[in-house]
Amino acid sequence: MKIHALVDQDIKKDDYLEVERQFIDIYDETAGITPIFSHETKNFETYPKVAEAEGDEHITDAYLKSTAKEVYDRLGDSIDTLVIWIHRDNWNLEGIWGTAYANIYSGYNVLVCRFDNKNLANALGTLYHESMHPHDSFIQRYLSVNINSLGRWGSWDKHVVHGGRPDQVGKYKWGYIRHMENQDALAYIAVYLRQAYAKRHTIASKRSLVNVLTKLVFAYKALINRKSTVVK
């Protein structure tokens, strides 16, 4: 589980490292997966946004697409998840604290998260919440396993991550993820999640090897077909 974070330049290093440490503990202890983080700082004082019909605001599709592509051009498939971490003072998306996207931008899971420096429990909860959202799509993509058919919940997003709907109170035991809730659900899908990450990394390694071999072939062809023509 390789995560690259675009960290708002206003977030203190000690703060985001502490949130990452707690996040790593959740996945390591509950799912047998050890997240590996890499970082770069970015200015998030401004960014384009769009409002949905009900009023919630999100970063624009074009911005997310270009941002993910720029990262992919540099890092390729060496990472699985891209986190856009925005300091609470620069967060101006009404109605939400985060958004998750699966299989939309450069093949990454993309998480847009509000970072609450005044309450790191909120920062952790938002990162964990948004990280949980793509797991069903990720497993379906790489293993063709529908975790919603396992019988423990109706919908992974609605009943696990969001803790059920008002018309189904009591039907499912899960609560809305605000901090570290529903780790038993994470444990239940852990075997699938580990297999999905292993398969993605195997595919990425093979693709990387093919790219290297292709470059070597073209370099060799260039070498044996060199010529210089002088016109007199």
Q: Which domain does 189 fall in, by range?
A: 2-224
In this structure, is residue 229 part of a structural domain? no
∠ CA 112-7-59 to the nearest 5 degrees? 30
Q: Are strands 81-87 and 2-8 parallel, antiparallel or unpaired?
A: parallel
The reported pLDDT for the residue numbered 78 is: 94
In this structure, is residue 30 part of a structural domain? yes
The reported pLDDT for the residue numbered 167 is: 54
In this structure, is residue 118 part of a structural domain? yes
The reported pLDDT for the residue numbered 214 is: 58
CATH number of 106's domain? 3.40.390
In this structure, is residue 86 part of a structural domain? yes
The reported pLDDT for the residue numbered 174 is: 83
In this structure, is residue 230 part of a structural domain? no
**95 is written with which tokens?**
């109605």
The reported pLDDT for the residue numbered 169 is: 52
In this structure, is residue 231 part of a structural domain? no
Cα 11 to Cα 28, 87, 148, 180, 185: the distances in Å are 25, 6, 36, 22, 31
In terms of Cα–Cα distance, which of 75, 82, 69 is closest to 6? 82
pTM for this entry: 0.88
In this structure, is residue 200 part of a structural domain? yes
Q: Which residue(s) pair with 38 in the sheet?
A: 4
Domain count, the chain: 1
The reported pLDDT for the residue numbered 164 is: 74
Which stretches of the chain drop beneath a pLDDT of 50?
A: 218, 220-221, 225-232
- Concatenated DSSP letters of 164-213: --GGGBTTB-----SSS--HHHHHHHHHHHHHHHHHHHHHHHHHHHHHHH
